[in-house]
């Protein structure tokens, strides 16, 4: 009693490795959460206002939003950078660039120096915000992918909360350190991330895609399994390699044009998720929360305190998705979040319009509810959904486009909010409430559910590859107990999503000859695979007979009719 078996200890060790790597990668999201929040407090400080000569609303908007311009540019480039250099080196470059930008901000000597520092930091943020979700999705098994992506977003909001409270406590400093010190903190975190990227493993999917199979297999074994021969490791490696070999044999190229032609629907869904994450109004609060509370009646340090309290609720709201996103699914979370956010924004605008004695307290409540709703829904899921739905060969490019969309709308909201707060006042919140309603309709009618589906099975869900050789007959349905590999729920989740959300009937998977070509290539190209393993692969490959295909089709038809 009290002792664990060696296998149990191994499983716990591998889970610890997976979670540790995921949490550390989340430092990348911590950084851009911190950088988004840090400006909200210092722009209202008396020493900052004095030093920068009482900047106008347009100047404040520029200082805040120029970060998004840099992020937009590098997020577009991150797809190619991530494919060429790998996920880990892209993380390293992003962390270094961010730290340089933070240093320029800290020692800023005027308006344009601050703008330059924010722009450079934005370039680092663009790389980090694109590559961290890709890395996270590629190291995670389907059963944990949603939860780990939500942990990543929690890191983002913890960064935001830390920046808000740093601003609050530094506001007691009677010098220019009251705004320089919060900017310095981000440099320290950036240095830690840069150093740590030298210790984390590369994405196994990128390694396999670039022909480094043995390294990819070792990484999968260290993250997911009980050793390189475990069923889970073997199955995951085979699925990744199947997809890579199929793309090499049948693929039409890896450029943006090919991606748009073959996967237009997926690209548009990925981009729309990030666009509405911003249009739904979060950065009205994240960037300008103290100004919002001042507009509602709180003044000075009290507005900073309300912002800090709001950030604690915000962090807490990001924790339930750890457990719910892989149980409820992506759609219910997005739909419920959009509904609550819309109601909160309409209420905020109404309370400000009334301008009664109780307005300050009422606005605090509605803003807290709004932040909490965003924190469990449109905060994490738009970072999870794009890397899930894009195929391996276009994942970095597709996510770079979706992330660029995020930063483009991020810039738009950040630049216009101070002006709109003066021009249309309380109606600003009603405007974003309407966007929440539109996002609800988009998700309800257009977004398929991806819960529990392996990344290599997304083609079957979207059916955007019908001209290139996939068909349902070769999809390895594990519904009749034929295999006992790592993801027994993936195909069931796939069937459920197709039946429930009305995607097309034809399911896609590489034909059996594509699988055989993989087995042959793997055996020829990797000395690590011994003769016994080759025999096992041949036996498995032999299971894909025509009779087996017919029985699978019949079983699938029964499931659809049922």
pLDDT tens-place string over residues 25-80? 888 889 888 987 898 889 888 999 999 999 988 898 889 889 989 999 999 898 88
Number of alpha carbons in the 13 Å side-chain half-sphere of residue 278: 24
Residues 265 and 356 reside in one and the same domain: yes
Q: Confidence class of residue 287 from pLDDT cuts 50, 70 and 90?
A: low
d(CA 242, CA 511): 10
On whether the CB atoms of residues 367 and 114 are closer than 8 A, the answer is no
Note whether 528 and 415 are same-domain residues: no
Last residue of a domain, one of 421, 446, 471: 446
Asked whether residue 218 is domain-assigned, the answer is no
Model confidence at 100, pLDDT cuts 50, 70, 90, reads very high
Residue at 244 is within a domain: no
The whole domain housing 550 covers: 453-562
Is the same domain home to 15 and 108? yes
pLDDT of residue 546: 47
Q: Which of 308, 51, 285, 52 lies closest to 165 in space, CA to CA?
A: 308
119-128, 136-145, 269-278, 307-316: the lowest-pLDDT one: 136-145
Q: Among 446, 463, 483, which residue terminates a domain?
A: 446
Q: Looking at the domain assignment, is residue 418 inside a domain?
A: yes
pLDDT band at 422 (very low <50, low <70, confident <90, very high): confident
Which pLDDT value is given to residue 495? Answer: 54
Instruction: Give the residue among 300, 427, 301, 309 at the shortest CA–CA distance from 367.
Output: 309
Question: Do 77 and 108 sit in the same domain of this protein?
Answer: yes
Residue 413: pLDDT band by 50, 70, 90 thresholds?
A: confident
Total number of domains constituting the chain: 2
148 and 77 belong to one structural domain? yes
Confidence band (pLDDT; 50, 70, 90) for 480? very low
pLDDT at 202: 92
- Are residues 441 and 457 located together in one domain of the fold? no
SS3 (DSSP) at 489: coil
pLDDT score for 104: 97
Band of residue 557 on the pLDDT scale cut at 50, 70, 90:
very low
Identify the weakest region by mean pLDDT among 170-179, 226-235, 244-253, 542-551: 542-551
Q: Express each pLDDT in 449-467 by its tens digit.
A: 999 888 878 888 887 654 4
Per-residue pLDDT, averaged over 484-503, amounts to: 47
Tell me: pLDDT of 552 over 80.
Answer: no
How much is the pLDDT for 225?
59
Q: Does 520 lie in the same domain as 417?
A: no
Q: How does pLDDT run across 118-131, given as a tens digit for each residue?
A: 999 999 999 998 89
Average pLDDT of 520-537? 41
User: Within its chain, how far is the Cα of 131 from the centroid?
Assistant: 9
Q: Do 339 and 483 fall into the same domain?
A: no
417/419 Cα distance (integer angstroms) = 5
Q: Does residue 502 carry a pLDDT above 90?
A: no
Q: State CA 121 to chain mean position distance.
A: 19
- Range with the largest mean pLDDT of 253-262, 397-406, 413-422: 397-406
Q: What is the pTM of this model?
A: 0.72
The percent of residues above 70 in pLDDT, for the chain, comes to: 78
| 393 & 368 share domain | yes
The answer on pLDDT for 24 being more than 90 is no
Lowest mean per-residue pLDDT among 2-16, 94-108, 133-147: 2-16
Tokens of 553: 């089709």
Number of Cβ within a 10 Å radius of residue 162: 21
The phi, psi pair for 55, rounded to 5°, reads -60, 145
CA-to-CA distance for 197 and 49, rounded, in angstroms? 37
The span from the CA of 360 to the CA of 346, in Å, is: 15
Instruction: In whole angstroms, give the CA distance from residue 135 to residue 189.
Output: 19
Once rounded to an integer, what is the mean pLDDT over residues 310-328? 91
290 located within any domain: yes
Question: Are both 298 and 394 inside the same structural domain?
Answer: yes
Report the alpha-carbon angle 401-402-408, nearest 5: 85
Q: Are residues 478 and 433 in the same domain?
A: no
Mean pLDDT of 241-257: 81
400, 430, 446: which is the final residue of a domain? 446
**pLDDT of res. 501:** 46
CATH code of the domain covering residue 356: 1.20.1250.20
Does residue 416 sit within a domain? yes
Tokens 């990030």, residue? 274
473 pLDDT band, cuts 50/70/90, is: very low
Is 86 within the bounds of a domain? yes
In a domain, 250, yes or no: no
Torsion on CA atoms 427, 430, 432, 438, rounded to nearest 10: -140
Binned at pLDDT 50, 70 and 90, residue 527 comes out as: very low
Average pLDDT of span 329-339: 97
- Residue 136 inside a domain? The answer is yes
Q: Is there a single domain that holds both residue 457 and residue 382? A: no
């Amino acid at each position: 009693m009290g002792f664990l078996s060696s296998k149990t200890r191994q499983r716990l060790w591998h889970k610890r490795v997976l979670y540790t790597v995921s949490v550390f990668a989340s430092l990348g999201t911590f950084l851009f959460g911190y950088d988004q929040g840090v400006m909200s407090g210092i722009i209202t400080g008396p020493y900052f206002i004095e030093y920068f000569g009482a900047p106008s609303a347009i100047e404040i908007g520029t200082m805040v939003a120029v970060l998004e311009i840099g992020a937009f540019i590098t997020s577009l480039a991150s797809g190619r950078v991530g494919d060429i250099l790998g996920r880990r080196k892209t993380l390293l470059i992003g962390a270094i660039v961010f730290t340089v930008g933070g240093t320029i901000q800290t020692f800023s000597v005027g308006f344009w120096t601050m703008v330059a520092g924010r722009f450079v930091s934005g370039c680092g943020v663009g790389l980090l915000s694109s590559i961290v979700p890709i890395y996270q999705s590629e190291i995670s098994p389907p059963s944990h992918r949603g939860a780990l992506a939500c942990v990543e977003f929690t890191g983002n909001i913890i960064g935001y909360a830390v920046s808000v409270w740093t601003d609050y406590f530094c506001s007691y400093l009677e010098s220019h350190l009251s705004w320089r010190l919060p900017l310095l903190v981000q440099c320290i975190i950036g240095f830690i991330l840069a150093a740590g990227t030298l210790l984390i493993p590369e994405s196994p999917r990128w390694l396999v895609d670039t022909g480094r199979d043995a390294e990819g297999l070792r990484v999968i074994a260290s993250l997911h399994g009980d050793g390189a021969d475990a069923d889970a490791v073997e199955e995951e490696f085979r699925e990744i390699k199947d997809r890579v070999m199929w793309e090499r044999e049948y693929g039409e190229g890896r450029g943006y044009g090919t991606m748009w032609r073959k996967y237009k629907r997926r690209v548009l869904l990925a981009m729309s998720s990030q666009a509405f994450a911003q249009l739904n109004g979060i950065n009205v609060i994240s960037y300008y929360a103290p100004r919002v509370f001042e507009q509602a009646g709180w003044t000075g340090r009290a507005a900073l305190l309300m912002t800090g309290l709001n950030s604690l609720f915000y962090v807490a709201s990001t924790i339930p998705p750890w457990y719910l996103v892989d149980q409820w699914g992506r759609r219910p979370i997005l739909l419920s979040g959009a509904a609550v956010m819309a109601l909160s924004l309409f209420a905020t605008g109404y309370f400000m319009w009334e301008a009664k004695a109780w307005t300050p307290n009422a606005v605090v409540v509605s803003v807290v509810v709004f932040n909490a709703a965003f924190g469990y829904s449109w905060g994490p899921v738009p970072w999870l959904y794009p890397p899930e739905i894009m195929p391996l060969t276009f994942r970095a490019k597709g996510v770079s486009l979706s992330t660029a969309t995020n930063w483009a709308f991020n810039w738009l909201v950040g630049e216009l909010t101070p002006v709109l707060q003066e021009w249309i006042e309380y109606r600003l919140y009603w405007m974003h409430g309407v966007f929440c309603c539109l996002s609800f309709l988009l998700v309800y009618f257009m977004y398929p559910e991806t819960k529990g589906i392996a990344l290599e099975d997304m083609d079957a869900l979207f059916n955007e590859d019908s001209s290139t050789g996939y068909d349902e007959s070769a999809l390895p349905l594990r519904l009749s107990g034929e295999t006992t590999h790592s993801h027994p729920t993936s195909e069931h989740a796939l069937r459920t999503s197709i039946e429930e959300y009305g995607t097309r009937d034809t399911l896609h998977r590489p034909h059996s000859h594509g699988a055989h070509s993989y087995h042959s290539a793997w055996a020829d190209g990797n000395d690590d695979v011994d003769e016994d393993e080759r025999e096992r692969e041949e036996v498995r490959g032999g299971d894909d007979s025509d009779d087996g295909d017919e029985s699978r089709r019949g079983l699938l038809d029964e499931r659809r009719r049922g």
